[in-house]
Amino acid sequence: MPLPAGEIAAGVRARELRAVDVVAAALERIERADPELCAFVEVWHEEALRRAGELDARLGRRAGNVPRKEDALPLAGVPIAVKGRHGLRAAEPLLAAGCVAVGATSVPGPGTPWQTWGLGARGRTVNPWRADRTPGGSSAGAAVAVAAGLVPLATGSDGAGSVRIPAAWCGVTGLKTTAGRLPSGDRTGLAVQGVLARSASDAASWWRVVSQEPVPAGTPLPVTAAWSSDLGFAGPDPEPVALARAAVERLAAAGVVRLVRPRAPLRLMDPGPAWLALRTRGADPGEAHRVRAENDRRLAGLFADAELLLTPTTPTAPHGHDGPGDRYSTSLTWAFNLSGHPALSVPAGFGGDGCPAGLHLVAPHGREALLLAVAREAEVRTGS
């Protein structure tokens, strides 16, 4: 398993580790595991080793001198995977911070009506916990690469849950950012940048680099939080609800959150038709804008009473490779692509099928640092 991103970077900057050795080890893990997992569509072996060697040389030349601010390299030598063949542009701030991209991860194959799977160079991407189950998507290979310990960080994008769903089903941390905070080429504004990470601390390292915003070390606890099992419309299965609620109770017992009851129960309008209308060229957006405005009003009321909203991440356990049937795996996530709120999935335990489930944390606009601080405290205090 890889070291945490922060430990790798500290070791490489101090020249206690060589970036080329860290990256070579990641490439070896990928070579061993990817024939079964199919998490990658491309592996950039020679380029990654060349980049790592250049980084070591740069740090070697700097040895004994006072480092310049621009040479700080907060993620020096950290191997990362990028989502899809065209993911390097979104990763530019990470590369500038010293990361080394080792390959492009799998995304859904062409012609499928559902997005909760991936197609790697060697075949369909499998869930690392059960090969007969999907990892979720569309950031499928990214979640698998992180969950299997091939890399500590992988970039993702989230248009309806495409970071958070695979994070939940693969048992890792997945952050969706606030709409408009980071560059996005999505014409609808629904899809935003995100990250898959092995820990909240690693996700926070990503956030500090891409946003230039610090994650506070001492967030006042407990944070007030409201719980909703279904957002008023979703109809999730009992097991993911029970697993997420048990995770909430652990957070409350550890003093990380304090559950509060909002003045009005949260009952959102189903965002599905509005989301689909915004994604369909030529569709009348009027009704979508009405749903968005009404849900925004209801969420503003909730966040007047609580700092966080907590839900299950997904309504079901991971489905098989034949598809999800008539269930929308996005039913608990895409409301927040429509509203633009930042949201985070953290591990919430395992279902009876042996696959992970997720707890979904949603914060007011621009409060990514709060999400990450709470998730980090949860890891420290509960060991999860």
Compute the average pLDDT of residues 11-39. Answer: 98
Instruction: Based on the residue annotation, tell me whether 69 is a catalytic residue of this protein.
Output: no
| Integer Cα distance of 223 and 327 in angstroms | 33
Instruction: Based on the residue annotation, tell me whether 384 is a catalytic residue of this protein.
Output: no
Catalytic, out of 106, 139, 157, 162? 162
CA 125 to chain centre: 17
pLDDT reported for residue 282: 83
Catalytic, out of 106, 138, 331, 345? 138
Q: What percent of the chain has pLDDT over 90?
A: 86
Nearest to 285 by CA among 361, 208, 217, 338: 338
pLDDT reported for residue 68: 54
| Integer Cα distance of 182 and 206 in angstroms | 13
Number of residues that this document lists for the chain: 384
**For 229-250, what is each residue's pLDDT tens digit?**
999 999 999 999 999 999 999 9
Reported pTM: 0.96
pLDDT reported for residue 109: 87
| Integer Cα distance of 90 and 132 in angstroms | 31
Catalytic, out of 83, 157, 201, 345? 83
Whether 135 and 118 have beta carbons less than 8 Å apart is answered as: yes
pLDDT reported for residue 70: 43
Instruction: Based on the residue annotation, tell me whether 162 is a catalytic residue of this protein.
Output: yes
